[in-house]
């Protein structure tokens, strides 16, 4: 499985511009469905890009963590590297023997004994029987299964099963080890054993790719982290930075449930642009700094004395502050077709975190809501001041009464 | 081509382990285990002997029972391969999805396991034919006939195991197809009866069904002159069957090699 191309000696894995596209057929594998599919050929099949133009390379001896939400394409990526599936486009080059733990104990047959399964796995990895013989005792010892090795694995507890799976996969002594979410199974003692083993692999200069949702562990063990989302590569870099980005994205996604858009549509908010006083567009602001938001609108017909309002909520949907043009004393006589209003917020008091802006346009008597976009516009506040809660209040202390 | 064989040689240990696994699992849990491979054909001969005598379906043909038993045993090897090939890939979803190795080992291991089973059948069949006093001749040719049948079985296994991955109807179609094939093959009746339907010039048509040629060869070697049916067959017929077997293998290899990359996507 070794393709020696123009690859640098120090590179263990080189992935160039790979995509993996799945056809989502409504049908399945039955003849009836295939015939129906042919007849309904006019509707093009829906495609899912599980991996979308991803490129990266991993150096020899490097540990690369892979993070991302469910459906980000992490497991697809490891399957592609294992070569159980093949990319729709792009190339993958690997140097050295690849052992993958896509699933612990994958390929074990329930009716065969632990011993037989160990040799089956070795043979699948292409390891000669005598080499497996030499390692057999070490495998059994690592798995802690001395008394059960001749029992059929179907009688094993799930813990015993994964222990044997891990033991045999690491004992085959690969150059590249691909690990998918292994840390999620097994008890604490087993997890520690796994992590120790990974550390040992690192010391031995082996290349590892690890998928995990345990961000704390993956940050400690990885040299670099690859951040995937919906098949796309959002970043590749220092563990801390990537995990920060991932957490930010997760938070932003979680706020989507608060989003709501409604109204009569006589006036529509067409865009909202956040910028600083200089007009530079941005979505991250400093605590204590200023924020401007330009709201563009489009009116279907002339509307007399409309009111523009805003509110800002924290990531759990609690309103921090809200106001409108009426309250602020800005009188708008009439709007015709398109235009813009700009909101200025000074000395932002909020603590660090994600905040959601709502904007609305309604009639001056609050009876008709032309267009409301609730919690649709996220911004991030950065803050290096230390205080409790989600808003800053200037406070001082003095001694005595 | 040469490199393909080299690859296969490198994977011989996996092949062997999978063959053993297939055999072990077939008899797992049964008390007599491996002996069933011998007991099966033994009872088969007994039962056919009893019913052939009671029902008299030999139509006055000499040594009918022996030719029937040969036919059935030979057919069973093919039928088992056809049946098992449905699950050669589908029954190993976990291996295919999670590990990388040449997929062709799966149908190959299945056929090899059935070959071993078939060889055990011979341990019963040959003594029986000896006792029945069949004039066997040129037995050294037997392995060649077996090899041709294996070619056919492997070819069919490649086609069916691939088909079943993409089209789950294969299982049901195979049941019907196997039954039709059985009656199109000279198992219950002699080759002569098949040829009676065809003008002599088109005799080779009967041999387009490779089982006609294969069964004919087995009977020829094992029964010799004891079966009068066997002399009047054109060599072209046997050659036709051989070519069909090779063609099936070719088609099988082509189909399998071109589809195996998609197995992981579909399963």
The DSSP annotation for B158-210 comes to: HHHHHHHHH-TTHHHHHHHHHHHHHHHSTTSS-HHHHHTTS-GGGHHHHTTSH
A341 Ramachandran zone, left/alpha/beta (phi>0; psi -120 to 50): beta
Task: Decide: helix, strand or coil at residue B99.
Answer: coil
Q: Report the alpha-carbon distance of residue A23 to residue A47 in Å, rounded.
A: 5
Residue A369 confidence (pLDDT) above 50? yes
Q: CA dist B247 to B151, B152, B202, Å?
A: 10, 9, 20
Encoding tokens for residue A236? 């590749």
pLDDT tens digit string along B242-265? 999 999 999 999 999 999 888 888
Q: CA dist A265 to A165, A333, A336, A365, A373, Å?
A: 60, 19, 14, 17, 12
**Residue A97: beta bridge partners?**
none
A376 Ramachandran zone, left/alpha/beta (phi>0; psi -120 to 50): alpha
Are the C-beta atoms of A284 and A293 separated by less than 8 Å? no
Q: What per-residue confidence (pLDDT) applies to A28?
A: 56
Say what the ipTM of the complex is.
Answer: 0.79
Whole-number average pLDDT of chain B: 87
Cβ–Cβ below 8 Å for A129 and B266: no
Task: Decide: helix, strand or coil at residue A14.
Answer: strand
Are the C-beta atoms of B99 and B11 separated by less than 8 Å? no
Q: What per-residue confidence (pLDDT) applies to A66?
A: 92
CA angle A284, A286, A289 (to 5 degrees): 120
Cβ–Cβ below 8 Å for B95 and A129: no
Q: Report the alpha-carbon distance of residue B167 to residue B155 in Å, rounded.
A: 18
Residue A2 confidence (pLDDT) above 70? no
Residues 6+ away with beta carbon under 8 Å from B20: none
Q: Which segments of chain B does DSSP mark as H helices, in order?
A: 2-10, 12-26, 36-55, 64-90, 93-98, 105-131, 142-166, 170-184, 191-195, 203-206, 210-223, 235-266
A-chain residues near B28 (CB < 8 A): 111
Q: Which has the higher per-residue pLDDT, A69 or B155?
A: B155
Q: Is the CB of B169 inside 8 Å of chain A's CB atoms?
A: yes
Nearest CA in chain A to B101: A124
Q: What per-residue confidence (pLDDT) applies to B180?
A: 94
Cα dihedral A236, A238, A239, A242 in deg (nearest 10) = -50
Q: What per-residue confidence (pLDDT) applies to A37?
A: 67
Q: What per-residue confidence (pLDDT) applies to B254?
A: 95
Q: Report the alpha-carbon distance of residue A217 to residue B140 in Å, rounded.
A: 66
Q: Is the CB of A379 inside 8 Å of chain B's CB atoms?
A: no
Cβ–Cβ below 8 Å for B100 and A29: no
Give the pLDDT mean for A63-76.
88
Cβ–Cβ below 8 Å for B166 and A29: yes
Nearest to A382 by CA among A258, A303, A289, A281: A289
Q: Report the alpha-carbon distance of residue A324 to residue A308 in Å, rounded.
A: 6
Nearest to A194 by CA among A240, A158, A142, A140: A142
Domain ranges in chain B? Answer: 36-266
Q: What per-residue confidence (pLDDT) applies to A345?
A: 93
A115-124: burial string, b at 16+ Cβ within 10 Å, e else:
bbbbbbbbbb
Q: What per-residue confidence (pLDDT) applies to A3?
A: 47
Q: Report the alpha-carbon distance of residue A254 to residue A246 in Å, rounded.
A: 12
pLDDT tens digit string along A119-135? 888 888 878 888 888 88
Q: Rounded to the nearest 5°, which phi and psi values hold at A354?
A: -100, 135
Q: Report the alpha-carbon distance of residue B40 to residue B24 in Å, rounded.
A: 17
Q: What per-residue confidence (pLDDT) applies to A323?
A: 93
Tell which A residues from 77 to 106 touch B, by Cβ distance under 8 Å.
Answer: 79, 82-86, 98, 100, 102-103, 106
For the entire predicted model, the pTM comes to 0.77
Q: What per-residue confidence (pLDDT) applies to B233?
A: 62
CB atoms closer than 10 angstroms to residue A46? 10
pLDDT tens digit string along A5-49? 556 778 889 999 999 988 876 555 666 666 766 666 656 667 888
Q: What per-residue confidence (pLDDT) applies to B227?
A: 62
Q: Which segments of A90-238 does DSSP mark as H helices, in order?
A: 114-124, 129-143, 158-171, 188-203, 215-221
Are the C-beta atoms of A101 and A82 separated by less than 8 Å? no
Q: Report the alpha-carbon distance of residue B221 to residue B191 in Å, rounded.
A: 15
Among the partner-chain residues A30, A111, A112, the one whose CB lies closest to the CB of B168 is: A30
How far off is chain B from A192, nearest CA to CA, in Å?
Answer: 25
Give, rounded to a whole angstrom, the gap between the first and last alpha carbons of chain B. 28
**Residue A94: beta bridge partners?**
A13
Are the C-beta atoms of A290 and A346 separated by less than 8 Å? yes
* From the candidate CATH numbers 3.40.50.300, 3.40.190.10, 2.60.200.30, 3.40.309.10, the one assigned to the domain spanning A11-251: 3.40.50.300
Are the C-beta atoms of B229 and B190 separated by less than 8 Å? yes
Residues in chain B: 267
Nearest to A249 by CA among A183, A300, A305, A315: A315
Residue A226 confidence (pLDDT) above 70? yes
Q: Is the CB of B94 inside 8 Å of chain A's CB atoms?
A: yes
Place of tokens 């123009």: A6
CB atoms closer than 10 angstroms to residue A246? 21
Encoding tokens for residue A365? 């008597």
Cβ–Cβ below 8 Å for A85 and B101: no
Q: Report the alpha-carbon distance of residue B80 to residue B19 in Å, rounded.
A: 15
pLDDT tens digit string along B107-120? 999 999 999 999 99
Q: What per-residue confidence (pLDDT) applies to B200?
A: 76
A53-62, A344-353, A379-388, B57-66: which has the minimum mean pLDDT?
A: B57-66
pLDDT bin (cut points 50, 70, 90) of residue A1 is very low
Q: Report the alpha-carbon distance of residue A69 to residue B114 in Å, rounded.
A: 46
Q: Is the CB of B264 inside 8 Å of chain A's CB atoms?
A: yes
pLDDT bin (cut points 50, 70, 90) of residue A357 is very high
A80-109: burial string, b at 16+ Cβ within 10 Å, e else:
bbbbbbebeebebbbbebbbbbbbbbbbbb
The dihedral sign for the CA sequence B99, B101, B107, B110: negative
Q: What per-residue confidence (pLDDT) applies to A219?
A: 87
Q: Report the alpha-carbon distance of residue A118 to residue A113 in Å, rounded.
A: 9
Q: Report the alpha-carbon distance of residue B104 to residue A385 in Å, rounded.
A: 64
Cβ–Cβ below 8 Å for B25 and A1: no
Are the C-beta atoms of A195 and A212 separated by less than 8 Å? no
CA angle A120, A165, A226 (to 5 degrees): 115
Rg, C-alpha atoms of chain A: 29
Q: What per-residue confidence (pLDDT) applies to B92?
A: 87
At the top level of CATH, the class of A260-382 is mainly beta
pLDDT tens digit string along A264-291? 989 999 999 999 888 899 888 999 999 9
Q: What per-residue confidence (pLDDT) applies to B246?
A: 96
Domain ranges in chain A? Answer: 11-251, 260-382
Among the partner-chain residues B18, B94, B261, the one whose CB lies closest to the CB of A106 is: B94
Cβ–Cβ below 8 Å for B28 and A86: no
Spans of chain B, pLDDT less than 70 = 1-2, 57-60, 226-234
């Amino acid at each position: 499985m070794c393709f020696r191309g123009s690859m640098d000696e120090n590179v263990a894995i080189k992935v160039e511009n790979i995509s993996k596209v799945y056809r989502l057929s409504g049908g399945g594998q039955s003849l009836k469905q295939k015939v129906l599919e042919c007849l309904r050929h006019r509707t093009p099949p829906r495609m899912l890009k599980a991996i979308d133009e991803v490129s990266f390379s991993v150096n020899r001896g490097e540990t690369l963590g892979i993070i991302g939400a469910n459906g980000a394409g992490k497991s697809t990526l490891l399957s592609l590297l294992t070569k159980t599936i093949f990319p729709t486009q792009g190339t993958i080059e690997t140097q050295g023997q690849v052992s993958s733990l896509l699933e612990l104990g994958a390929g074990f047959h329930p009716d065969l004994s632990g011993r037989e399964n160990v040799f089956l796995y070795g043979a699948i990895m292409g390891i000669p029987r005598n080499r497996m013989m030499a390692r057999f005792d070490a495998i059994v010892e690592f798995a802690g299964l001395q008394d059960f090795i001749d029992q059929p694995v179907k009688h094993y507890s799930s813990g015993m099963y994964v222990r044997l799976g891990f033991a045999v996969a690491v004992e085959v002594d690969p150059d590249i080890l691909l690990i998918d979410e292994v840390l999620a199974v097994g008890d604490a003692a087993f997890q520690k054993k796994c992590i120790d083993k990974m550390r040992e692999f690192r010391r031995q200069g082996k290349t590892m790719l690890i998928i995990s949702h345990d961000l704390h562990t993956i940050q400690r063990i990885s040299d670099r982290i690859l951040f995937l989302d919906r098949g796309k590569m959002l970043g590749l870099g220092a563990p801390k930075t990537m995990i920060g980005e991932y957490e930010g994205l997760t938070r932003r996604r979680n706020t989507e449930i608060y989003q709501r858009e409604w109204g009569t549509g006589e006036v529509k908010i067409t865009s909202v642009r956040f910028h600083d006083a200089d007009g530079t567009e941005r979505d991250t602001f400093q605590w204590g700094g200023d924020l401007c938001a330009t709201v563009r609108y489009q009116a279907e017909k002339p509307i007399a004395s409309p009111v523009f309002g805003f509110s800002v909520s924290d990531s759990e949907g609690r309103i921090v502050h809200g106001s409108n043009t009426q309250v602020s004393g800005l009188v708008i006589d009439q709007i015709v077709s398109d235009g813009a209003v700009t909101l200025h917020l000074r000395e932002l008091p909020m603590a660090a975190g994600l905040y959601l802006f709502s904007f609305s346009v309604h009639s001056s008597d609050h009876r008709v809501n032309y267009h409301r976009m609730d919690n649709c516009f996220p911004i991030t506040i950065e803050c290096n001041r230390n205080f409790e809660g989600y808003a800053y209040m200037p406070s001082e202390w003095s001694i005595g009464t | 081509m040469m490199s393909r064989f080299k690859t296969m040689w490198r994977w011989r240990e996996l092949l062997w382990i999978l063959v053993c696994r297939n055999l072990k699992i077939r008899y797992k849990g049964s008390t007599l285990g491996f002996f069933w491979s011998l007991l099966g054909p033994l009872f088969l001969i007994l039962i056919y002997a009893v019913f052939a005598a009671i029902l008299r379906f030999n139509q006055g043909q000499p040594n009918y029972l022996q030719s029937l038993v040969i036919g059935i045993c030979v057919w069973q090897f093919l039928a088992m391969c056809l049946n098992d090939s449905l699950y050669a890939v589908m029954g190993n979803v976990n291996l295919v999805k999670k590990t990388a190795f040449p997929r062709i080992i799966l149908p190959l291991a299945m056929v090899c396991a059935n070959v071993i089973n078939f060889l055990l059948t011979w341990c019963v069949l040959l003594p029986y034919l000896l006792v029945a006093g069949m004039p066997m001749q040129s037995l050294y040719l037997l392995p060649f006939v077996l090899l041709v049948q294996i070619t056919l079985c492997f070819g069919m296994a490649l086609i069916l195991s691939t088909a079943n991955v993409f089209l789950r109807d294969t299982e049901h179609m195979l049941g019907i197809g196997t039954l039709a094939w059985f009656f199109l093959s000279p198992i219950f009746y002699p080759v002569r009866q098949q040829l009676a339907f065809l003008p002599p010039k088109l005799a080779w048509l009967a041999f387009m069904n490779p089982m006609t040629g294969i069964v004919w060869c087995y009977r020829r070697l094992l029964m010799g002159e004891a079966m009068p049916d066997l002399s009047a067959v054109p060599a072209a017929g046997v050659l036709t069957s051989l070519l069909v077997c090779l063609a099936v293998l070719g088609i099988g290899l082509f189909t399998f090699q071109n589809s195996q990359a998609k197995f992981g996507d579909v399963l």
